[in-house]
């Protein structure tokens, strides 16, 4: 019995000692900026195993672990974050991995809260998944094809299985607790992620890497751009445009997650944006867009490069306060408490999905574009500052959180989303806002940011008001601004009246010399000169070459007959009128008779037959058959040319005035005139791309027929508006006039006799066609702008 009692006492004593050691260990870790009311979860060991198709990293804990997994693209790795978690003992890093996994390193982030981090370096980009097994987590990687091939060859040679054998494990060693610094293992860089570089002198020159991009807003509007590299580098800085600087870092590369524009438009600075990019040949380029051109200088200290800029007179853009969500009141409620979840990841996600997160997803603006690395998160009643620490590690940015920022985050996102979208979501859920200064993201309450923005705006307005007061006291001067090509009163004066100093400045125009007389401060006068210089430009001229072609076709055909019969002495006979006449000597004297039919054609080509005698009788037959066929073609060409200014109408007119008589109401005759002319009107406009817009009006008037009262006129006109290139020719045509007439004349009755009717009639057929064609070629004439 005594032996039994002594055994019981010894066991109780050992149990008391163990409990005291455990209490001391927890107390020591509580001194590392951890909430004393929250017990830390512990990671006891990390091991790695592999089988035929997968490589598994097992993380063993003393309780179900809350985690966030992130796949880092450069250098390639998978990083696990465990909030409110510590390592039971220090972990030695694993460096002898395989073809899939490289080094496995650990670290504890203890500056704010306590977060454990496990970084698994990858030698190839393979897929992975995280599986929960009670209190353990298993990160399962698909093995790379190269590793499978090598292992298959080894298996065939040795005929030994390779699956299911433990490869390496992290050793657990006791260590002193109570340290507030970050504990980290040695991280070996994966050689496969280092890009190939050129060799010089037989040695490979490794490029430097950009590891820092900062923007610092300083007093009085000054600012500094800070760029850090892994070693000192050479650089070039050039000014490619009026407001753009280009900084080239030679033999330097920049990770992909740092190739994001840094926008500084809301800060009192001369810099608006910093755009990093990777150029060919291991050159990193930074395009710095300026708000305005200001003095600057470069300072380089070891691996730090700083560009200092003077202050800008242009104010920053206003900050748009984000409206608070309608469900903000729900965030004031106490979060639901419950036991630690020890089920699979999917089960945790379903239990942690609260209405606040669903409302936040619906509140996100779909139009915003997020470019951050995609991550999957699972938070349950997690302190918001620990969440910001995880996002800081993922994004590579520095976070500055105001001391009055507090809250809890319950959020489950199974499908990966960009980290910057997650950040906006968390800020909206807690009524917070952010301002990014370089790679520093400041988190503050929305009311604080709004108040600071109002203070900045008030300070700027006060500065502007002070400048205006100083300008109001500046002395006035009077200057004369000559205007060469514009109308000073109509074109220039209305623009200058808008900038003149109220109640002090004055403007007037001397129309005789086309000058502007201005009295104002020197700044206003300089601004007025710039306005005049921009408006008073040489007006370009346009040469208009027109070729007007009128073609006409006139075809006429005439057939007719002329014949006659007479008796007596012919007038050409020598016996005419002397003695008795032939066959008519009963009465004596000279006499004769005749009969004729005259249906001739126009005097043109004729065919005639003359019979002096018919059968020896006294009758004479004079018959003339005439036929005429004519074909007329006419071509009238006019080529007027005119030069005019831009937007000014030019007209060229050619012709005559035809007089005619006209009676007034009193019966008096007066002479009036009608214009018979060819007229061309053109209004050109030169576009900004050196094309010509034309308004064209062409008209031609001719006398159609003369009447007793006044001549009747024919008018041919074309009016259009079109756009042509400089020196291009266009044609206006299609104005066609056709006239066909047929005339028949003859002896009634006889002209109807078959076969003989052509002896007693004449026919006339006329066909006329006229067409107007207009060819126009405009050319721009640009005169030199002379400096005044």
pLDDT in tens, 574-596: 655 555 555 555 555 555 666 65
Is 189's pLDDT higher than 80?
no
Kindly state the helix (H) or strand (E) to which residue 493 belongs, with its residue range.
Answer: helix 493-496
658 contacts 673 by C-beta, under 8 angstroms:
yes
Evaluate whether residue 745 is within a structural domain: yes
Indicate if the pLDDT at residue 2 is higher than 70. no
Same structural domain for residues 397 and 369?
yes
Answer whether 632's CB lies under 8 Å from 554's CB.
yes
Residue 300: cis peptide before it, omega within 30 degrees of 0: no
- 657 by Cβ neighbours in 10 Å (0-12 / 13-18 / 19+) ranks as exposed
The total of other beta-carbon atoms located within 10 Å of residue 603's CB is 8
152 shares a domain with 82? yes
Q: DSSP 3-state assignment of 641?
A: strand
- pLDDT at residue 270 tops 60: yes
Copy the structure tokens of residue 83: 């909030």
* CATH code for the domain of 483: 3.30.1370.120
What SS3 state is found at 458?
helix
Whether 329 shows a pLDDT value over 60: the answer reads no
Q: Is residue 379 packed enough to be buried (19+ CB in 10 Å), middle (13-18) or exposed (0-12)?
A: buried
Residues 183 and 43 in one domain: yes
Contacts of 125 (CB under 8 A, 6+ apart): 76
- 370 and 263: one domain? no
Asked if 86 and 114 touch (Cβ cutoff 8 Å), the reply is: yes
Greater confidence, 745 or 77?
77
Tell whether the model's pLDDT for residue 486 goes beyond 50.
yes
Confidence band for 194, pLDDT divided at 50, 70 and 90: very low
Question: Do both 273 and 399 map to the same domain?
Answer: no
* Residues in a beta bridge with 654: 678
Q: What is the pLDDT of residue 634?
A: 56
Q: What is the CATH number of the domain that holds 415?
A: 3.55.50.30
* Mean pLDDT along residues 554-560: 60
| CB contact at 8 A, 225 and 214 | yes
Contact 563, 596 (CB under 8 A): yes
Angle value at C-alpha 619, between 616 and 625, nearest 5 degrees? 110
Which residue is it, tokens 């010089």? 200
Asked if residue 420 belongs to a domain, the reply is: yes
DSSP 186: P
377 contacts: CB under 8 Å, gap ≥ 6: 68, 411, 412, 413, 422
530 secondary structure, DSSP code: H
Query: Percent of the chain having pLDDT more than 90?
Result: 12
Supply the pLDDT for residue 515: 92
Q: What is the CATH number of the domain that holds 243?
A: 2.60.40.3470
Domain that holds residue 697: 634-781
Of 436, 452, 468, the position where a domain reaches its end is 452
Using the Cα atoms of residue 456, residue 457, residue 462 and residue 465 in order, give the sign of their dihedral.
Answer: positive
For residue 5, being part of any structural domain is answered with: no
Do 75 and 175 fall into the same domain?
yes
Q: Which phi and psi angles does 45 have, rounded to 5°?
A: -160, 160
Phi, psi angles (nearest 5°) of residue 370? -105, 135
Q: Which two tokens stand for residue 610?
A: 């003359």
- 775/720 same-domain check: yes
Contact status, residue 724 vs residue 685, Cβ threshold 8 Å = no
Token output for 166: 């433990």
One-character DSSP codes across 120-143: EEESS---EEEEEETTEEEEEEEP
Alpha helices, DSSP H only, in 497-571?
A: 522-535
Task: Render the burial of 561-571: b for 16+ CB within 10 Å, e for the rest.
Answer: bbbeebbbbee
Average pLDDT rounded to a whole number, residues 363-390: 77
> Taking residues 464-473, what's their average pLDDT?
80
3-state secondary structure at position 283:
strand
Q: How far is CA 295 from the centre of its chain?
A: 31
Number of structural domains in the chain: 6
Q: What is the pLDDT of residues 686-699, one digit of tens each?
A: 888 889 998 988 88
Q: What is the DSSP string of 397-452?
A: -EEEE-TT---EEEEEEEEEEEHHHHHHHHHHHTTEEEEEETTEEEEEEHHHHHHH
In this predicted structure, what is the pLDDT of residue 19?
42
pLDDT at site 669: 81
Q: Number of H helices and number of E strands within the chain?
A: 9, 44
pLDDT of residue 630: 54
CA atoms within 13 A on the CB side of 269: 25
What is the token pair recorded at 679? 């007229």
Neighbours of 116 (CB within 10 A): 27
* Pair 267, 217: CB distance under 8 Å: yes
Whether 174 and 265 share a structural domain: no
Report the SS3 class of residue 532.
helix
Whether residue 528 is found in the same domain as residue 641 = no
What's the pLDDT score for residue 236?
92
Do 108 and 147 lie in one domain? The reply is yes
Question: For residue 14, is it within any domain?
Answer: no
Closest among 254, 245, 213 to 309, alpha carbons compared? 245
Burial of 280 (0-12, 13-18, 19+ CB in 10 A): exposed
CA 514, 519, 520, 523: dihedral to nearest 10 degrees? 40
**What is the per-residue pLDDT for 225?**
93
Q: Is residue 302 part of a domain?
A: yes
Structure tokens, 772 = 């107007």
CB 670 within 8 A of CB 662: yes
Inter-axis angle of helices 419-429 and 384-395, to 10 degrees? 160
Same domain, 609 and 641: no
Distance CA 102, CA 358 (A): 39
Same domain, 738 and 605: no
360 Cβ contact partners less than 8 Å away, ≥ 6 residues apart: 325, 327, 425, 428, 429
Q: Are strands 41-50 and 85-87 parallel, antiparallel or unpaired?
A: parallel
pLDDT at 600: 57
Backbone angles phi, psi at 703, to 5 degrees: -80, 125
Largest CA distance in the chain: 211
More confident residue, 578 or 785: 785
Predicted pLDDT of residue 112: 67
pLDDT in tens, 90-100: 777 666 567 78
397 against 205, higher pLDDT: 397
- Model pLDDT for residues 103-133, shown as the tens digit of each residue: 888 888 877 678 888 999 888 888 888 888 8
Alpha-carbon gap, residue 551 to 634, rounded angstroms: 6
Q: Tell me if 11 is assigned to some domain.
A: no
Task: Decide if 499 is inside a domain.
Answer: yes
Angle, alpha carbons 214-218-222 (nearest 5°)? 100
CATH number of the CATH domain containing 110: 2.60.40.3500
Q: Helix, strand, or coil here: 771?
A: strand
Sole residue written with tokens 């309450």: 445
Question: Which residues, listed in sequence order, are joined to residue 701 by a DSSP beta bridge?
Answer: 715
Question: How confident is residue 308, by pLDDT bands cut at 50, 70 and 90?
Answer: very high
Domain boundary among 418, 452, 486: 452
Domain assignment of residue 515, yes or no: yes
Token pair 């009747």: residue? 712
Angle between helices 419-429 and 355-363 (to 10 degrees): 110
Average pLDDT over residues 409-434: 87
């Amino acid at each position: 019995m005594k032996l039994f009692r002594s055994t019981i006492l010894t066991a109780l004593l050992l149990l008391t000692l163990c409990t005291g050691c455990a209490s001391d260990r927890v107390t020591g870790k509580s001194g590392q900026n951890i909430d004393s009311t929250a017990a830390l979860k512990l990671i006891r060991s990390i091991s790695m195993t592999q089988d035929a198709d997968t490589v598994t990293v097992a993380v063993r804990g003393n309780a179900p672990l809350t985690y966030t997994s992130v796949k880092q693209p450069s250098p390639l790795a998978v990083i696990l974050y465990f909030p409110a978690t510590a390592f039971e003992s220090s972990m030695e890093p694993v460096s002898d991995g395989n073809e899939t996994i490289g080094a496995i390193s650990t670290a504890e982030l203890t500056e704010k809260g306590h977060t454990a981090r496990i970084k698994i370096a990858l030698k190839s980009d393979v897929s992975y998944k995280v599986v929960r097994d009670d209190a353990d987590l298993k990160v399962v990687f698909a093995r790379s094809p190269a590793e499978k091939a090598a292992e298959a060859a080894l298996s065939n040679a040795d005929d030994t299985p390779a699956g299911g054998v433990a490869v390496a494990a992290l050793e657990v060693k006791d260590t002193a607790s109570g340290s507030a610094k970050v504990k980290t293992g040695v991280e070996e860089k994966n050689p496969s992620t280092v890009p190939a570089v050129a060799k010089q002198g037989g040695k490979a020159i490794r490029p430097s890497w950009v590891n820092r991009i900062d923007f610092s807003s300083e007093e009085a509007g000054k600012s500094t751009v800070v760029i850090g590299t892994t070693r000192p580098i050479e650089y070039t800085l050039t000014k490619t445009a009026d407001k753009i600087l280009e900084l080239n870092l030679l033999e330097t590369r920049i990770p992909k997650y740092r190739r994001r524009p840094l926008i500084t438009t809301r800060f009192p600075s001369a810099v608006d944006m910093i755009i990093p990019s990777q150029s060919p040949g291991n050159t990193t380029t930074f395009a710095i867009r300026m708000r305005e051109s200001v003095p600057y200088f470069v300072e380089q200290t070891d691996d730090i490069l700083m560009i200092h800029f003077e202050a800008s007179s242009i104010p920053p853009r206003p900050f748009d306060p984000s409206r608070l969500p309608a469900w903000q009141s729900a965030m004031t409620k106490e979060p639901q408490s419950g036991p630690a979840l020890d089920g699979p990841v999917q089960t945790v996600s379903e239990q942690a999905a609260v209405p606040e997160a669903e409302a936040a997803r619906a509140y996100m603006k779909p139009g915003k574009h997020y470019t951050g690395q995609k991550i999957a998160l699972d938070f349950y009643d997690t302190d918001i500052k620990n969440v910001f620490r995880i996002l800081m590690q993922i994004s590579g940015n520095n976070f500055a959180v105001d001391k009055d920022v507090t809250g809890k985050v319950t959020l489950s996102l199974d499908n990966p989303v960009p980290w910057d979208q997650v950040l906006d979501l968390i800020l909206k859920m807690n009524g917070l806002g952010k301002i990014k200064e370089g790679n520093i993201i400041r988190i503050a309450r929305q009311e604080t940011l709004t108040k600071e923005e109002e203070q900045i705006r008030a300070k700027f307005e006060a500065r502007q008001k002070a400048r205006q007061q100083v300008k109001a006291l500046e002395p006035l001067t009077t200057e004369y601004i000559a205007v060469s090509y514009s109308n000073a009163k109509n074109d220039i004066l209305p623009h200058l009246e808008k900038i003149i100093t109220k109640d002090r400045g004055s403007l007037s125009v001397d129309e005789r010399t086309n000058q502007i007389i201005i009295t104002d401060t020197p700044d206003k006068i300089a601004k007025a000169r710039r306005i005049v210089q921009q408006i008073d430009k040489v007006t370009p001229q346009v040469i208009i070459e027109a070729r007007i072609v009128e073609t006409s076709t006139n075809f006429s055909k005439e057939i007719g007959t002329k014949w006659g019969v007479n008796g007596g002495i012919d007038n050409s006979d020598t016996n005419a009128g002397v003695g008795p006449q032939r066959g008519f000597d009963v009465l004596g004297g000279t006499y004769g008779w005749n009969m004729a039919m005259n249906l001739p054609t126009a005097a043109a080509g004729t065919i005639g037959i003359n019979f002096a005698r018919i059968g020896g009788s006294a009758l004479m037959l004079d018959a003339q058959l005439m036929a005429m066929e004519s074909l007329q073609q006419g071509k009238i060409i006019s080529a007027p040319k005119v030069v005019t200014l831009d937007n000014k109408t030019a007209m060229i007119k050619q012709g005559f005035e035809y007089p005619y008589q006209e009676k007034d109401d009193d019966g008096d005759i007066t002479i009036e005139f009608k214009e018979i002319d060819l007229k061309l009107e053109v209004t050109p406009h030169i576009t900004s791309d050196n094309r010509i817009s034309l308004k064209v009006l062409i008209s031609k008037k001719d006398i159609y027929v003369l009447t007793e009262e006044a001549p009747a006129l024919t008018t041919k006109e074309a009016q259009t508006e079109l756009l042509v290139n400089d020196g291009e020719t266009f044609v206006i045509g299609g104005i066609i006039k056709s006239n066909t007439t047929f005339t028949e004349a003859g002896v009634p009755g006889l002209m109807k006799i078959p076969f003989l009717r052509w002896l007693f009639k004449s026919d006339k057929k006329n066909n006329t066609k006229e067409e107007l064609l207009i060819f126009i070629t405009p050319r721009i004439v640009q005169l030199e702008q002379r400096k005044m």
